[in-house]
Amino acid sequence: MEEDEGLTVEADYRKIVGNIPVLVFCHDMGGDITYANPHAIERIGCDPDELLRMNIFDFIPPDEAEKVQKMKEKRKKGDKSTFRFVSRIKEDNGKVFPVQLSCTPFVNSSGEMEFLIVARDISERRKVRSREEFLHSLLRHDVRNKAQIARGYLELLQDVEVEEKGEKFLQKALKSVKNSLKLIEKVRTLLKIDGSRSKEIDVNLFVENAISEKSPLISKNGVEIKHKSCGCRVVASPLLEEVFSNLIENAIVHSNCDNIVISSRETEEECIVSVEDDGCGIDNEEKEKVLEKGYRKSDSPGSGLGLYLVKEVVETHGGSITVEDSELDGACFEISLKKP
């Protein structure tokens, strides 16, 4: 009777863990898998019967195996405590992802010792932490360095008597301070991404607002900008305006263009906005790099944050961005956004 009750408890337990969105495994003292919940089977990416023929070491990366082996030795010596640690799990396709993991011993319905592993994917947490560290690094180093440059030029002004040279140093100092302020604003935008609220809106309102905001820069550089609207609606937050504002500024400052054309079209599921120019264009080898955080050409001013900000905002809205050659002989940034 006790054995039947044990089987019932064990069956009920496995029914419960089968519905939770974390990876759950059971293995025996030798490491052979005796149970895996549906989420674990799906994430590892192999057939359920195949998984039950595997050993725990089959999906632990080699550099993690030594740590797990030491824990296994402790188990053999009678340690029945719950082990909690950060590790990594290898999918059937070879891809590795980080997990927060716990391993707890229990006696199964047959009276044999097994171990319950509960693993939570912490990839997103790592990504958020990495972005926070990147933003803090920008504030600690880039902004501070620009402020130090400004201070240096301003100190030089104290010893300069020639008015023309003094004006030159002053302009350099002011430019450095302005760059610092721009960088701070971009960092603030990135920090606001996760908390921004979305609603259904005509994407062209964001484009028009961005053109209006950049009108002084457009006029100053003698650039002609054309906007062709299709009235497509998307679900987005006010931060989407930053995408078009940054792309317009990027075209003017970095491509040396005379014309910018912003157009939109829609498919059944997406609204696609193209921002293209007739400037110097982007080399093929640079196309995959320009959206990376911190990337900029050696002779280019700035922090390399503008296009990375664009990519982050677009992806936060569930969209994507690609860089192609423009029919105007410059660069074309194509933003795809989901329709309501």
Q: Residues 114, 145: one domain?
A: no
On the question of pLDDT at 137 being above 80, the answer is no
Number of domains in the chain: 3
Average pLDDT over residues 76-88: 90
Average pLDDT over residues 1-25: 60
pLDDT for residue 55: 92
- The top-scoring range by mean pLDDT among 67-71, 193-197, 273-277, 295-299 is 273-277
Q: Give the confidence band of 9 by pLDDT, cuts at 50, 70, 90.
A: very low
**Residue at which a domain ends, from 195, 225, 242:** 195
On the question of pLDDT at 304 being above 60, the answer is no
The CATH number assigned to the domain holding 71 equals: 3.30.450.20
Report phi then psi at 120, rounded to 5: -110, 125
- The top-scoring range by mean pLDDT among 28-32, 141-145, 272-276 is 272-276
**Taking the CB of residue 90, how many other CB atoms lie within 10 A of it?**
16
- Of 61-65, 247-251, 270-274, the poorest mean pLDDT is in 61-65
Q: Residues 150, 264: one domain?
A: no
Residue range 182-225, pLDDT digits in tens = 667 766 666 666 555 678 889 999 999 999 989 989 999 999 99
Q: Residues 37, 10: one domain?
A: yes
pLDDT for residue 227: 94
- Of 83-87, 132-136, 220-224, the poorest mean pLDDT is in 132-136
Report phi then psi at 238, rounded to 5: -60, -20
Q: Residues 16, 98: one domain?
A: yes
Average pLDDT over residues 162-171: 72
Average pLDDT over residues 152-175: 73
Q: Residues 9, 45: one domain?
A: yes
**Taking the CB of residue 212, how many other CB atoms lie within 10 A of it?**
10
Q: Give the confidence band of 7 by pLDDT, cuts at 50, 70, 90.
A: very low
On the question of pLDDT at 119 being above 90, the answer is yes
Rounding to the nearest 10 degrees, give the CA dihedral for residues 295, 300, 302, 308.
-30
Q: Residues 27, 84: one domain?
A: yes
On the question of pLDDT at 11 being above 60, the answer is no
On the question of pLDDT at 303 being above 60, the answer is no
State both tokens at 311: 């990519």
Q: Residues 70, 207: one domain?
A: no
**Residue at which a domain ends, from 73, 91, 121:** 121
The Cα-based distances of 65 to 58, 72, 146, 328 in angstroms read 10, 10, 46, 55
pLDDT for residue 244: 93
- The whole-angstrom separation of Cα 296 and Cα 317 is 25
Q: Residues 212, 330: one domain?
A: yes
Residue 238's SS3 state is coil
Residue 302's SS3 state is coil
pLDDT for residue 179: 67
Helix (H) / strand (E) element for 121: namely: strand 113-121
User: Domain span at residue 183?
Assistant: 124-195
The CATH number assigned to the domain holding 313 equals: 3.30.565.10
pLDDT for residue 183: 67
Q: Which residues of 12-36 are buried (b: 16+ CB within 10 A; e: fewer)?
A: eeeeebeeeebbbbbbeeebbbebb
Residue 223's SS3 state is coil
H-assigned helices in the chain: 2-17, 38-44, 48-51, 62-76, 123-137, 144-157, 163-192, 203-213, 215-220, 240-255, 284-287, 306-316
- The whole-angstrom separation of Cα 154 and Cα 138 is 23
On the question of pLDDT at 38 being above 60, the answer is yes
Mean pLDDT, the chain, whole residue set:
82
Q: Residues 54, 180: one domain?
A: no
What distance lies between CA 177 and its chain's CA centroid?
29
Q: Residues 72, 112: one domain?
A: yes
Q: Residues 85, 158: one domain?
A: no
- Of 147-151, 259-263, 268-272, 286-290, the poorest mean pLDDT is in 147-151
Average pLDDT over residues 274-290: 89
Q: Residues 225, 299: one domain?
A: yes
Instruction: Tell me which residue of 254, 255, 247 sits closest to 273, measured CA to CA.
Output: 247
**Residue at which a domain ends, from 169, 195, 221:** 195
